[in-house]
Amino acid sequence: MNTRLTWICHGATTASRKTLFPLDEPLEGKAAEDAGRMAAPPRADRIATSPALRARQTADALRLEARIDQALRDCDHGRWAGRSITTIEAEEPENLVAWMSDPEAAPHGGESLLDLRTRVAGWMDGESALGGHVIAISHAAVIRAAVAHVLQAPHSSFWRSDIEPLAIVCMTSNGSRWCLRFPY
């Protein structure tokens, strides 16, 4: 069964502009306008969004009626949520290094990157079984995990993809494997 998956990263937030580990913050003022000016996404059989406010607001700005899917939630950053990476680097340098180098580490008390990738891969495989076109509005970390899964890349590759606010990443599945798709 063929599946087309269109990922849309939520719009910019104050946290993303200030390199903070995110909380459940809204889009910054201009981000909703930017999303509203994007070309209309193609017709989809299913549209899903992360439960986070910033993802739901992005779906609304795109005029997409999306169902909330917990599997599309952002990585749980535990006690680091709302704090800057600079602060974490100064206060907990060994924990930050562990989290960035060991995919099983979760020194912040949240989710490890291995757990994130496993969650995202499971969601993608479930969507592949359904076929058709699905649009998913989610987070940069979730989309990076999806890209690493599709490429069957080592866990260290997670840090090698930059996903900007409102970025669109396309993938296809023939039912047995996923591929990146570059439509433009």
Over residues 78-118, the pLDDT tens digits come to 999 999 999 999 999 999 999 999 999 999 999 999 999 99
Identify the pLDDT of residue 170. Answer: 97
Identify the pLDDT of residue 184. Answer: 64
Global pTM reads 0.95
pLDDT tier at 10 (50, 70, 90 boundaries)? very high
What strands lie across the sheet with 168-173, from one edge to the other? Answer: 67-68, 46-49, 132-138, 3-9, 168-173, 178-181
At 157, list the tokens. Answer: 């590759």
Domains and CATH numbers, the chain: 3-181 (3.40.50.1240)
